A = this chain, B = another copy of it.
């Protein structure tokens, strides 16, 4: 269907196919960034890039496909942000805290675009997008590597990664929807640090000046 440049092909405008895909994805991302999920409409998206809606249908697909592309980009950006936050010469505990900090920092910097990853739920019959599981797996592998020195058992570590990941997700979700402020004035980063610290070290090690180990 969408083979590039074999026979009588050729874009009329100034964009080839890949450029057009990037153009659509970035424009959609900006719409979501400014006005959230509700602000992303097919006609609006088409008009902001100066094309007719049908051009997007032909090159990308329907609105679901557009959101998928935005979400794929978001997960890749998140992975890069987390990767650059792990300093190799820090203690495992500090690296875990840095990871949580970087995650919540990413969400705080781009709440609407991040929310789209979770707000946009796919049809309940489709099994799962391959790229989504893969992108998620890359990121959770990163977390697992950071937690490995502290939780040697692989099964326990996998459960810990899932539990902490879900906890961070809940913190970020409630924070972006302003439902966390109803409960406590602390920042989600402080709460994440509390959560990670108590999960990894227990309730007793609150003040670190008792023992320095």
A residues with a Cβ closer than 8 A to B are 36, 118-119, 121, 128, 132-133, 136-137, 140, 150-151, 158-171, 173-174, 177-180, 182-184, 186, 188, 190-192, 194-195, 198-205
In angstroms, Cα B136 to Cα A44, docked, is 37
- The reply to whether A203 and B201 form a contact with Cβ atoms under 8 Å apart is yes
Chosen A-B contacts, 23 in total, with CB atoms closer than 8 Å, are: A118-B177, A118-B179, A119-B119, A136-B179, A137-B182, A140-B183, A158-B183, A158-B184, A159-B184, A159-B191, A160-B194, A162-B180, A163-B171, A163-B191, A166-B188, A167-B167, A167-B171, A168-B170, A169-B174, A170-B171, A170-B173, A198-B202, A202-B203
- The reply to whether B121 and A177 form a contact with Cβ atoms under 8 Å apart is yes
- In the complex, what's the smallest C-beta–C-beta distance from A163 to chain B, in angstroms? 5
In angstroms, Cα B136 to Cα A178, docked, is 13
Extra pairs beyond A119-B119, A128-B182, A162-B186 (4, CB < 8 Å): A150-B203, A159-B186, A166-B173, A169-B173
Q: Which residue of B lies closest to A136 (CB)?
A: B182
Known: A177-B121, A183-B140, A203-B202. Is A166-B162 also a contact (CB below 8 A)? Answer: no
Residue of B137, B168, B183, B194 touching A136 (CB-CB under 8 A): B183
4 pairs of A and B residues whose beta carbons are closest in the complex: A202-B202, A170-B170, A167-B167, A169-B170
Within 8 Å CB of A202, what residues of B? 198, 201-205
- In the complex, what's the smallest C-beta–C-beta distance from A206 to chain B, in angstroms? 8
In angstroms, Cα B176 to Cα A169, docked, is 13
